[in-house]
Structure 1
Amino acid sequence: MESEPLMDERESLRVIHAMILSAKKTLQDDGTLYLMWGWLVLFSSLAHYGLLTQTDFPYPYAVWATMPLAGVYTGFYVRRLANRQPVKTYIGEFLSYLWIAFLVSIVILLVFMPRIGYENTYPIILLLYGIGTFVSGGALRFRPLVIGGALNWPIAVAAFFVSFDVQLLLLALAVTCSYIVPGYLLRANYQKQDV
């Protein structure tokens, strides 16, 4: 029985580097999820703010009803990406656990929003956005996500000191910094890699 030849250090590093690049390309995709969630949260927070401050509409929070539909779409989209990925990577597994933890934490927070108060909920959501994008950016070594995530933290601190309606505007600012801008930069990088 013949044994497989051992790889030398250079070959091992080349294989590891290729796996990281493959994971990075697969996980980055074309920025679709960051852009989709960023624009959806931006639109919803601004619409909620407008309905809350400019109208007598009794349910200004109704604009957030699109979130569960976006969640279902995300589930199908991620499953399709996973099926196309030829090999599972540590980075991919790590990020999937991170975003599952993020989602579960957001759902728990939203369920208990009436108990902890609306003014306390959104700053915590901003902190969670910061963690998710900061850690994702670090794992992918994509600086705009790291910076966008880090910007969420001072925005969250500011949100603790303002009224709920202003928190909605801060939420719009936060997703612009941590989802939309990095999403477009991810898309630009993805398109450069495909050329």
Structure 2
Amino acid sequence: MSPSMVGMSFLVLGIILLLGKWIRVITPNLQKLFIPSSLIGGFLALILGPQALGNLVEGLEYENTAFSILAGGIFPEDMLAIWASLPGLFINIIFATLFLGKKLPGIREIWNIAGPQVSFGQTVAWGQYVFGILVTVLILTPYFGINPIAGALIEIGFEGGHGTAAGVWLLLLQRPDSLKVQTCQSAWLL
């Protein structure tokens, strides 16, 4: 990947975010629902990428026409490869900047403010682990041959979020049965 392609990838991402902002500004219902511009831009990129436009063009079988150029969406493969590597990096930026410029309160004040949320979060997280592992071990593994590690995917996708799932993705790819895990991960994240 050339430096110019990396720069172009970030430029196109910026344009997509600006288009998402513009769509949000001219659509009052999206503002009332508090839909962020980044989510709107993400849907726009999804529609124009290989997952939607590319599959549509391939499904219509425009092999020898001008539409065949759009078989992979409007974004080049190199750009998609650069974008695929970003979530794992950007989650580090989010967590690294959480407390920049903020004075940290004392332990007692932290616990008084955050204690209920910590308790709730732990209950939800452990509940997701227990539910996911029980369903996987009792149903998915015996009947569908899914690896038991898939039991942790609910917690990774919901409690951890998309950034955590992207970070764990490389770990799951190293497993010999990664195809089953990938399929299961996609199902949990959807």
The structure where helix makes up a greater share of residues is 1
Instruction: Name the TM-score, length of structure 2 as normaliser.
Output: 0.30
Instruction: Name the TM-score, length of structure 1 as normaliser.
Output: 0.29
Identify which of structures 1 and 2 has the higher relative contact order when contacts are C-alpha pairs closer than 8 Å and 6+ apart.
1
